[in-house]
Chains A and B, each alone.
Chain A
């Protein structure tokens, strides 16, 4: 630990504070200000929430596959208020649905992708001793933690947890049970946490890059985190405001989202009225569309790192990828109303949002194409992280392509709110983003622990998940095209036009439960490798970026000597070099004409 103190000069104020200071257990592992510990806290909390959110879905999938039949094994755990005799009630189904979405997005994927990987990897990749604001960083984690606990307490509230969907459209959410209040309080904490984190990320990337690390020498992962931070910083405040307004509608008798003249269950609703339900939708989607890119950009960043490393060659079109990711970030602010084509939109508005939606597909195509072309001429090592990173490409491809008919308003008439939408965004987020996150866990695990995860268990985890997850999401396109609506407690069994589509609910159910089983090798691998994995050195993957110059695991302050950057991030297989990787941190050898300048992104 203390050997790292030698580079205290890099961030004077911060490092001095800790030099030679012995921290107790609580300040080392619990209320830590070290970006690596906070990153690991975020990672483990995020993974646990992903498991929990996925478990909710496995329970829902039983009700969809076998409507009104008692849930096996766990049916009796939920009590008579939720599942009398083990048979799920519609209220409980709606709670599970809303909480599944909320947990996966706000408590699982974003904290893992940004709080976990961003915190742990980004400062190491830019050669910084820590984040710019370590205390803010600690606060960000604990505010997130409180938000997560607040969300979960919804389940023990009278009437249960929030049940108006993860989108919480008023008036339904305004008149929902107490769980919705808790949901809003949880959201306000989560948003605050993201804001604290994003400011920290931006300042760190701008201020604390190592000597020689120009913006065009940044690893693509850092670029992805940089753009993501701007999205969080600028898109979340409107939702925070909207959350406060909805909270006031519920608690203080205001009517921000309630128009006059409502009649609920046969009785006029006693509110002042004059509000607009659509206002919430605009504020919500103004966040929630950039949020999609918050989910996907860090994943692209991880995939880019893993692909460059395992193809043993520079990324193809690094510059185009950087420009595309920045453009994606910008465009993501002006596509939000394509979620609202069915709310009564006129031609001009619809034309605008359809056009921006088609435009935003172009930089996504550029990034995907660049990653695909990076494979040409490669020498591919099929390591576990590479398997997940490679699978990301076609899976994200399916997710992106199926966005096209949804982004065009006339075809959206048929597909809106059907399972086609569910299939579409899950391909983006589940076998897309979450696979990339798994790639990241396997890839950086040696840096965090000094040990590698087991490759055999990794391969079982990958192949099992890859096959099962396609059985979950592919049939949803068939169901959606056939006109099966989402959020149906009985899986749509009431409707005549769904008759031929119900059998797929059983296929999807078994896909989901199988997917659950194939996470067991990962859980075993993750925990057993912390102490029992194969010991490795500082740079087990023969990688080029700065994090691999630090010890594994890095001590407090990260680097033994102040890192200096000499070249672009992906100088693999440089002609004339003595090995197939030339790290950013290795000084040039005295060889005229072989300075390592290349397409990989020098200067």
Chain B
């Protein structure tokens, strides 16, 4: 079934659980639809006026309907208790510890994704809406010592493979939605709220390119909530790297940062 659903390639540790649920639910849907559909087509032919000129007052007998409903209810309870509720709890209750995870802030705005790394000191610098400008979209306060080593990028999220990634999601203006389809991650960014979202990427961008045989493949950040006239082009990229490559990328960014100052 999974192959027929045409889902994007899965690239996070929890993607399998979500795909498994999608498969189970679609099996249930298929069985019900084929069952009902077969019955429906049969009665249309069997009980057409030509074949059955006199209708039966009593109609269908037996407990078939009741047993169908009971089976549907039981399957739904299993899906709910066995899969949906625990899988959701995994997403929103068991966050990785900040010390184990790569912690990143992502802030949406019309129409871009601002990515903010705390740098080697592990502390995010102070930000203020009064300092927001074209070359400082996050309003990072350069006088705060914690902000000196902070790295910011636009529409480019670099992350290491096989590490928990903890993203603090927020937005400057309207509601956006942070969608990473291959990671099976989607979370609305709501003004006034800081919403954590986490995942563990399992395949580097390079490995995924090889696996899919597509040299131009990239993980993308999609905006999934209408945010204005540029909603359709509010796209970012995710580069999943080995830890070594990620560390090198961070070091390069730091070098650039110091050169810039």
Please report A residues at the B interface, Cβ cutoff 8 Å.
Answer: 89-91, 94, 163-165, 169, 171-172, 175, 258-269, 276-278, 311-314, 316-317, 342-347, 350-351, 354-355, 358, 361-362, 365-366, 368-370, 372-382, 390, 393-394, 397-398, 401-402, 404-405, 408-411, 413-418, 478, 481-483, 485, 487-490, 492, 494-497, 572-575, 580, 598-599
**Are B226 and A411 within 8 A (Cβ)?**
no
**Are A172 and B226 within 8 A (Cβ)?**
yes
CA distance A171 to B176 in the complex (A): 11
CA distance A408 to B22 in the complex (A): 10
* Cross-chain pairs A/B with CB under 8 angstroms, 14 sampled: A171-B175, A259-B193, A264-B173, A313-B56, A314-B59, A342-B187, A346-B93, A358-B79, A379-B54, A380-B43, A401-B33, A408-B25, A490-B232, A497-B8
CA distance A489 to B166 in the complex (A): 31
Which residues in B have their C-beta under 8 angstroms from that of A258? 191
**Are A266 and B47 within 8 A (Cβ)?**
no
**Are B52 and A169 within 8 A (Cβ)?**
no
Set A259, A377, A393, A489: member contacting B55, Cβ < 8 A:
A377
**Are B129 and A481 within 8 A (Cβ)?**
no
Q: Which of B6, B48, B187, B226 has the most CB of A within 10 A?
A: B226
Beta-carbon nearest neighbor of A355 in chain B: B80
CA distance A165 to B174 in the complex (A): 13
**Are B28 and A354 within 8 A (Cβ)?**
no
CA distance A481 to B184 in the complex (A): 11
8 closest pairs, A vs B, by CB?
Answer: A259-B192, A377-B56, A376-B60, A483-B181, A410-B87, A312-B55, A313-B55, A379-B55
Verify if B250 is at the interface (C-beta below 8 Å from A): no
Verify if B244 is at the interface (C-beta below 8 Å from A): no
**Are A378 and B43 within 8 A (Cβ)?**
yes
Which residues in A have their C-beta under 8 angstroms from that of B100? none
Which residues in A have their C-beta under 8 angstroms from that of B227? 172
Verify if B220 is at the interface (C-beta below 8 Å from A): yes
**Are B36 and A372 within 8 A (Cβ)?**
yes
Beta-carbon nearest neighbor of B30 in chain A: A401
Verify if B186 is at the interface (C-beta below 8 Å from A): yes
**Are B191 and A365 within 8 A (Cβ)?**
no
B interface size (C-beta, 8 A): 95
Distance of B197 from chain A, by nearest CB (Å):
9
Annotate B56-98 by CB proximity to A: 1 below 8 A, 0 otherwise.
1111100011001100110011011001110111011100000
Which residues in B have their C-beta under 8 angstroms from that of A267? 132
**Are B6 and A90 within 8 A (Cβ)?**
no
Which residues in B have their C-beta under 8 angstroms from that of A377? 47, 52, 55-56, 58-60
Which residues in B have their C-beta under 8 angstroms from that of A483? 7-8, 179, 181, 222
Q: Kindly identify, within residues 1 to 47 of chain B, every residue whose CB is under 8 Å from any CB belonging to chain A.
A: 5-8, 17-18, 21-22, 25-26, 28-29, 32-33, 36-37, 39-40, 43-44, 47
**Are B88 and A347 within 8 A (Cβ)?**
yes
Known interface pairs A313-B59, A314-B59, A373-B65; 7 further A-B residue pairs with C-beta atoms within 8 A, sorted by A's residue number = A263-B173, A316-B65, A344-B195, A376-B47, A380-B48, A409-B84, A485-B222
Q: Kindly identify, within residues 202 to 259 of chain B, every residue whose CB is under 8 Å from any CB belonging to chain A.
A: 216-218, 220, 222-233, 235
Beta-carbon nearest neighbor of B181 in chain A: A483
CA distance A314 to B130 in the complex (A): 71
Beta-carbon nearest neighbor of A363 in chain B: B69
CA distance A346 to B92 in the complex (A): 6
Which residues in A have their C-beta under 8 angstroms from that of B181? 414, 483, 497
CA distance A585 to B29 in the complex (A): 43
**Are B65 and A369 within 8 A (Cβ)?**
yes
Verify if B109 is at the interface (C-beta below 8 Å from A): yes
CA distance A397 to B227 in the complex (A): 33
Distance of A114 from chain B, by nearest CB (Å):
28
**Are B175 and A172 within 8 A (Cβ)?**
yes
Which residues in A have their C-beta under 8 angstroms from that of B132? 263, 266-268
**Are A373 and B224 within 8 A (Cβ)?**
no
Set A269, A313, A393, A488: member contacting B232, Cβ < 8 A:
A488
Distance of A390 from chain B, by nearest CB (Å):
7
CA distance A372 to B38 in the complex (A): 11
**Are B80 and A354 within 8 A (Cβ)?**
yes
**Are B55 and A261 within 8 A (Cβ)?**
no
**Are A417 and B43 within 8 A (Cβ)?**
no
Distance of A322 from chain B, by nearest CB (Å):
16
Distance of B26 from chain A, by nearest CB (Å):
7
Which residues in A have their C-beta under 8 angstroms from that of B156? none
Verify if B188 is at the interface (C-beta below 8 Å from A): yes
Verify if B190 is at the interface (C-beta below 8 Å from A): yes
Which residues in A have their C-beta under 8 angstroms from that of B184? 413-414
CA distance A277 to B190 in the complex (A): 7
Q: Kindly identify, within residues 154 to 198 of chain B, every residue whose CB is under 8 Å from any CB belonging to chain A.
A: 172-175, 177, 179, 181-182, 184-188, 190-193, 195
A410 touching B33 in the complex, CB below 8 Å, given contacts A313-B57, A372-B39: no
CA distance A514 to B220 in the complex (A): 35
**Are A351 and B85 within 8 A (Cβ)?**
yes
Which residues in A have their C-beta under 8 angstroms from that of B37? 394, 397
Beta-carbon nearest neighbor of A497 in chain B: B8
CA distance A478 to B39 in the complex (A): 26
Which residues in A have their C-beta under 8 angstroms from that of B91? 410, 413
**Are A90 and B216 within 8 A (Cβ)?**
no
Which residues in B have their C-beta under 8 angstroms from that of A347? 85, 88-89, 92-93
CA distance A238 to B58 in the complex (A): 45
Distance of B247 from chain A, by nearest CB (Å):
27
Q: Kindly identify, within residues 77 to 127 of chain B, every residue whose CB is under 8 Å from any CB belonging to chain A.
A: 77, 79-80, 83-85, 87-89, 91-93, 109-110
Set A263, A269, A411, A574: member contacting B109, Cβ < 8 A:
A263
Which residues in A have their C-beta under 8 angstroms from that of B44? 375, 380, 390
A375 touching B25 in the complex, CB below 8 Å, given contacts A277-B190, A413-B18, A417-B177: no
Set A91, A350, A370, A496: member contacting B88, Cβ < 8 A:
A350
